[in-house]
């Protein structure tokens, strides 16, 4: 996946954070759709001004298209990418039904997950109570996974949008997760985590360093003297290899 870019100015720009589940699903859809983008890996505790300028809420992922259009919701990025090219049919069989299932993940499950995983951030909340609430959602997935994926035998947008959050839940207490009577969810998650597409989009890349005015002036001086400027500190998400 990510490779050092020598020039990526004509590509869409994706602001991302490697471990963010919202950013994960956006990167997965972009790679699946064979859309190369300039990847700007940011630190959430030190967000660059360039990110704040294109999206005032300054959360990741944010995709800036070549025409300047900004998509700052992960599902919007997924749908945009797959509408350009959907080689595995992730938008089928029923997009509206898939989005309903994803809403259960992004709403109630995420609510419980945050209060379970980050209990110290929510005074007065009982983490184990929220763990039980999260498990109730996983039980609904267990019933859906009768054929191996959430909507039949092949993975879809719903699987890719939800699995990064289930990964986060599982990693909070792996012993507890592995001990749940949810064999289909466990097998589904294991297959997702070992897939070429997931490994491809989870490779570590250097943090993007925002250029300063001094940097820009120096580049201009170098260009005037005929000196080649150094490559931008960015990486590329390139299409996943389908062998």
Long-range contacts of 190-193 (CB under 8 A, 24+ apart): 192/155, 192/159, 192/163, 192/167, 193/163, 193/167
DSSP 143: H
Show the domains of the chain with their CATH numbers.
3-88+199-237 (3.40.30.10), 95-195 (1.20.1050.10)
pLDDT score of 39: 95
Give the end-to-end CA distance of the chain in Å, rounded to a whole number. 15
> What's the predicted TM-score (pTM) here?
0.87
d(CA 113, CA 104) in angstroms, rounded, equals 12
Buried b (16+ CB within 10 A) or exposed e, 66-85: eeeeebbbbbebbbbbbeee
Q: Mean pLDDT in each 10-residue stretch from start to end of the chain (243 residues)?
A: 45 96 98 94 94 95 96 98 97 96 98 97 97 98 98 97 98 98 98 96 93 59 41 54 50
- Helix (H) / strand (E) containing 121: none
Task: Say if residues 74 and 23 touch (Cβ distance below 8 Å).
Answer: yes
Q: What is the pLDDT of residues 27-76, one digit of tens each?
A: 999 999 999 999 999 999 999 999 999 999 999 999 999 999 999 999 99
């Amino acid at each position: 996946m990510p490779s050092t870019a020598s020039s990526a100015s004509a590509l869409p720009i994706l602001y991302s954070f490697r471990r963010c589940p919202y950013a994960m699903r956006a990167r997965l859809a972009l790679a699946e759709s064979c859309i190369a983008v300039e990847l700007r890996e940011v630190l959430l505790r030190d967000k660059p001004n360039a990110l704040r300028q294109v999206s005032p809420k300054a959360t990741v992922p944010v995709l800036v298209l070549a025409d300047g259009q900004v998509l700052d919701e992960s599902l919007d990025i997924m749908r945009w990418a797959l509408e350009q090219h959907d080689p595995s049919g992730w938008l089928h069989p029923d997009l509206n039904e898939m989005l309903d299932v994803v809403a259960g993940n992004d709403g109630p499950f995420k609510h419980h997950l945050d209060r379970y995983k980050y209990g110290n951030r929510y005074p007065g909340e009982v983490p184990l109570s929220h763990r039980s609430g999260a498990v109730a959602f996983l039980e609904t997935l267990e019933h859906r996974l009768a054929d191996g994926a959430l909507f039949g035998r092949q993975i879809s947008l719903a699987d890719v949008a939800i699995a990064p959050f289930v990964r986060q839940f599982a990693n909070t207490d792996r012993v507890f997760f592995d001990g749940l009577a949810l064999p289909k969810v466990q097998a589904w998650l294991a297959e997702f985590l070992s897939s070429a597409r997931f490994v491809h989009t989870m490779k570590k890349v250097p943090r993007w360093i925002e250029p300063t005015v001094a940097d820009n002036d120096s580049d201009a001086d170098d260009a005037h003297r005929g000196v080649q400027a150094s490559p931008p500190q960015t990486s590329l998400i390139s299409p996943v290899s389908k062998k």
